[in-house]
A and B are shown apart, each in its own frame.
Chain A
Amino acid sequence: MVEKPLSQLNSGEKGRVVKVVGDPLLRRRLVAMGVVRGAEVIVVRRAPLGDPMELLLKGYYLSLRRNEAENVFVEVDGKQT
């Protein structure tokens, strides 16, 4: 298990949310949208210009900017990168 910010995941990678940090307002919005500890997140794709990213979690699609996704830490199966 490797822990890293969600923003570093590649398209198609899957992770489980460990913690959400950062600005309280942003954190509140994120947890309300279901980005809570234990939630499983799949990175679906990045926008054509590289940012924002599209996620699949709790059965719906959510898109976050890179600087927002940096505040979400996920654990990923597999080898250290």
Chain B
Amino acid sequence: MMVKVALIGNPNVGKTVIFNNLTRGREHVGNWPGTTVEKRVGRGKHKSVTMEIVDLPGLYELTASSIAELIARDYIVKENPDVVVNVVDASNIERNLYLTLLLLELEANVIVALNMWDVAESRGYGIDVKTLSELLGVPCIPTIAPKKVGIEELKDEIVRATQKRRVGGRPISYGDDVEMFIGKIETIILRDARLSKYPARWLAIKALEGDERALKTIEELAGPETLSEILSIVAESRSVLGGDPEVVLAERRYNVIRVILERAVRKREVKLILTDVLDEVFLNKYLGIPIFLAIMWTVFYFVFEVSEPFMKLLNEGFIMLGKLAGETKTPLASLWADGICSGLGFVLQFIFPIIFLYIALAILEQSGYLPRAAFLMDRIMYNVGLGGRSFIPMLLGFGCNVPAIMATRVIKDERDRLATILVIPLMSCAARLPVYVLIAGALFPEYAGTVVFSMYMLGIILAILVSLLARKLVPGLKGKPAPLLLELPPYRVPTLTAVLSFAWRRALVFLERAGTVLFAGALILWFLAYFPWGVEPGSGDSYAGLIGNTLQPIFSPLGFDSKLVTALVFGFWAKEVVIEALGILYGVEGEEEIRSVIAASVSPLTGLAYMAFVLIYVPCIATVAAVKKETLSWRWAAFLVAYQLTLAYAVALIIARLGSLL
């Protein structure tokens, strides 16, 4: 027997750990069709019952105004899972039960997992589970997910619940005045057989609340007359209830919850709450932001220092593998050594910084610090047209744009997220640094540090301008940032397994999606550099060189010669390659040599314009692939490439022109 189990709950309630406990790692991660909302499906077995467990997105309510909420709601209404496990933060039970009531309205077969039971106890909540179950009319199981407490009981209850499905009914009353209107609409809905596949009371409540989706469904299935009949009742309710039915209903739900909690929860005096104590320090008026900056620096330091030996190891491994083809230079041997092996090595060496970056990110997220970072930085981010939640992804962009773009999933609002994705590539990633260091070192030996720093600042300033402009002009991004409404959850110690599984999953996603594109790009660039066969690889005679020569006239107003332009073509693959390409083009080896050649043949002004161009034009194909992946459209990826090329050209031109005036 196979039963369908859906997991649902507010954000930050430990739902993922419950999911891991129920599935023991047997899971499939994908996206909900047509969205970038992550869909995780896993299997578990308990007492000869196989469970297919679907992890629904974390949410606070079930309206039609957000993608995540629509996904969850449609899944429960249309897929009709056998059991819905509502994971509840027992230490924050009042707000969490709001969603529970909404699920009961949906007539789902609900089991409540009272997770974070230990935190609730430490906060002095004594929850009488039996009374709570009776009052809600559904089983409640206390759990402490990281310690696997209550998981077996939860599984037992899932199996038991599949055997006797709770049938509809009216567990909770919202008061006579409201019930009268719900009843009236319900009668109209029940009259029409075409609406019978929806729970009648739920549809009535949603219609009363003016839910666009529900009203549209009624119109489509039952016709405009039925709809106008219902709408007149809604209009009547507005004057009788003395307010918007939507708000009145929310109030009534919270009233119901208060009554339930008065009977089921005893509050005990508590000594001290660790979260309060820590927030006094971490959100302190003076210490808060310095602490945040120190933590972020530590994250970067950790990621880059620790991943370095692994990257080196991998790179050398692939060079050794490449040598297997022997010394004879044939196109096939070169394909193996310079195309496949160096390409694969290149793709895979990204994986280590990404894994370590995600380990750090998972620790920040699971410890509960991430929302605090958003809280600290929101003021700044709001002023530049984004929200506090955009800060961490943008900061990660200084490491590597690819995981930064993948990390934008923490941003709930779709438009805020898109705007963030578009500006992340302006954050100077680690791969751009060697280019700056080389050119600045060659042309401005006295002020190299200042020049490099000003490149970073230029990126930040442009990001601010682009974001402000995009929020004014670009269709799909126009408007103000979404409301903050940010919950600051209790601090928790992250669990090792949860952190590692998060990092590992993300790394796999990167390999699967960006990896293929990167590898294909590597092969194309290999072809451009080594063909027509027999030319000096990457030289002016190769296809890449020809492209560079052809494009050079476009860049002559900026003062770039054909060698510089050809290197830019290679930089499209990855920015580090620019240096290597310059070396080949100038026919020299070693950084010192390249430096002196550049110092001899490029003017400081051109160098400055070149660095700005390298900063702004498309970071690398991996980033483009990640943007495509995270926006689900080539249109946004193409827009990114187009706007960045234009901007790069414009900025470089300004530098070249202004400089020549001085």
Chain A residues proximal to chain B, CB less than 8 Å: 20, 24-34, 36-39, 45, 47-52, 54, 58-65, 68
**18 additional contacts (CB under 8 A) given A49-B380, A52-B379, A58-B95:** A26-B483, A27-B244, A29-B60, A32-B61, A38-B251, A47-B288, A47-B375, A48-B289, A51-B379, A52-B375, A52-B388, A59-B91, A59-B93, A60-B487, A62-B485, A63-B375, A64-B484, A65-B382
A4 to chain B, nearest CB (A): 20
Q: A33-B60, A54-B283 are in contact. Are A64 and B485 (CB under 8 A)?
A: yes
**Nearest B residue (CB) for A34:** B95
Question: Can you give 23 A-B contacts (C-beta < 8 A)?
Answer: A20-B247, A24-B244, A27-B244, A29-B60, A29-B483, A34-B254, A36-B247, A36-B250, A39-B254, A47-B376, A48-B283, A48-B284, A48-B285, A52-B388, A59-B91, A60-B92, A61-B488, A61-B489, A62-B488, A63-B375, A63-B484, A65-B484, A68-B483
A58 and B244 CA atoms in complex are apart in Å by 22
Known contacts A49-B379, A51-B379, A63-B375: A31-B250 contact under CB 8 Å: yes
Q: Tell me whether A59 and B95 are in contact in the complex, defined as CB-CB below 8 angstroms, given that A31-B250, A33-B485 are known contacts.
A: yes
Interfacial chain A residues near B349, Cβ < 8 Å: none
- Residue among A25, A58, A68 with max Cβ neighbours from chain B (10 Å): A58
Interface residues of B in 34-64 (CB under 8 A from A): 60-61, 63
A48 engages B487 (CB within 8 Å) = no
* In contact, B251 and A37 (Cβ under 8 angstroms): yes
CB distance from A22 to the nearest CB of B (A): 10
Q: How far is the CB of B401 from chain A (nearest CB, A)?
A: 27
Find chain B residues with CB under 8 A from A27 CB: 244, 247
With known contacts A54-B283, A68-B485, A31–B379 Cβ distance under 8 A: no
Q: List which B245-294 residues lie within 8 A (CB) of chain A.
A: 246-247, 250-251, 254, 279, 283-286, 288-289
Tell me if A's interface is mostly helix, strand, loop or mixed: mixed
- B27 on interface, CB distance cutoff 8 Å: no
The CA-CA distance from A52 to B389 in the complex, in Å, is 13
Known contacts A33-B95, A54-B283, A28 near B484 by CB under 8 Å: no
A52-B488 contact given A31-B251, A45-B283, CB 8 Å threshold = no
Taking CB atoms, residues of chain A closer than 8 Å to B95 are 33-34, 58-60
Q: State A47–B375 Cα separation when bound (angstroms).
A: 7
> Given the complex, which residues of B lie within 8 Å of A34, measured CB to CB?
94-95, 98, 254
Query: Which chain A residue lies CB-closest to B125?
Result: A59
Question: Within residues 606 to 648 of chain B, which ones have a CB less than 8 A from any CB in chain A?
Answer: none
A40 CB, min distance to chain B CBs, angstroms: 11
User: What residue of chain B has the Cβ atom nearest to residue A63's Cβ?
Assistant: B486
Nearest CB of B to A54, in Å: 6
Task: Judge whether B63 and A28 touch: CB under 8 Å.
Answer: yes
- Nearest-neighbour CB distance to chain B for A59, whole angstroms, equals 5
| B42 shortest CB reach to chain A, Å | 29
Q: Which A residues are CB-close (under 8 A) to B157?
A: none
Q: Are A30 and B485 in contact (CB under 8 A)?
A: yes
A15 to chain B, nearest CB (A): 17
| Shortest distance between the CB of B244 and any CB in chain A (Å) | 8
Residue of A at shortest CB range from B488?
A61
The residues of B that contact A49 with a CB separation of less than 8 Å are 289, 376, 379-380
| Docked CA distance A64–B279 (Å) | 17
Bound form: Cα–Cα A37–B91 in Å: 22
Cross-chain contact B375 with A68 (CB below 8 angstroms): no
Given A31-B247, A52-B486, the answer on whether A47 and B61 have CB atoms closer than 8 Å is no
How far apart are A39's CB and chain B's nearest CB, in angstroms? 7
Point out the residues of chain A lying under 8 angstroms from B330, CB to CB: none
Smallest Cβ-Cβ distance to B61: which chain A residue: A32
Structural contact, B379 and A25, CB atoms closer than 8 A? no
Q: Contacts A52-B379, A68-B483 given: A36-B488 contact, CB under 8 Å? A: no
Does residue B378 face the partner (Cβ distance < 8 Å to A)? yes
What is the bound-complex CA distance between A65 and B386, given in angstroms?
13
CB <8 Å contact, B376 and A48: yes
Cβ of B550 under 8 Å from chain A: no
* Alpha-carbon distance A59/B247, docked complex (angstroms): 21
Which A residues touch B286, using CB under 8 A?
48
**Residues of chain A within 8 A of B483, CB atoms compared:** 25-26, 29, 64-65, 68
B254 contact set on A, CB distance < 8 A: 34, 36, 39, 58
Given contacts A28-B246, A29-B483, contact A48 B94 (CB under 8 A): no
Q: Which residue of B lies closest to A60 (CB)?
A: B92
Q: Is the CB of B379 within 8 A of A47?
A: yes
Contact with A along B67-94 (1 / 0, CB 8 A): 0000000000000000000000001111
Give every chain B residue within 8 A of A59 (Cβ-Cβ). Answer: 91-95, 123
Expressed in whole angstroms, the minimum distance between the Cβ of B561 and any Cβ of chain A is: 47
Q: Which of A20, A36, A58, A62 sits near B486, CB closer than 8 Å?
A: A62
Give Cα A57–Cα B326 distance, bound, in whole angstroms: 71
**Per a CB cutoff under 8 Å, which of A20, A25, A38, A62 touches B65?**
A25
B94–A65 touching, CB < 8 Å: no
Chain B nearest CB, measured from A58 CB (Å): 4
Q: In the complex, A67→B160 CA distance in Å?
A: 49
Q: Which chain A positions have C-beta within 8 A of B246?
A: 24, 28, 31
Q: Choose among B60, B286, B379, B380 the residue with the greatest number of A CB atoms under 10 Å from its CB.
A: B379
Q: Which residues of A contact B382 (CB under 8 A)?
A: 51, 65
Q: Could you tell me the distance between the alpha carbons of A26 and B484 in the complex, rounded to whole angstroms?
A: 10
How far, in angstroms, from A79 to B254 measured CA to CA in the complex?
30
CA distance A61 to B244 in the complex (A): 26
Nearest to B380 among chain A residues (CB) is A49
Distance in angstroms between the alpha carbons of A34 and B99 in the assembled complex: 11
| Chain B residues with CB under 8 A of A20 | 247
Residues of B within 8 A of A62 (CB): 485-488
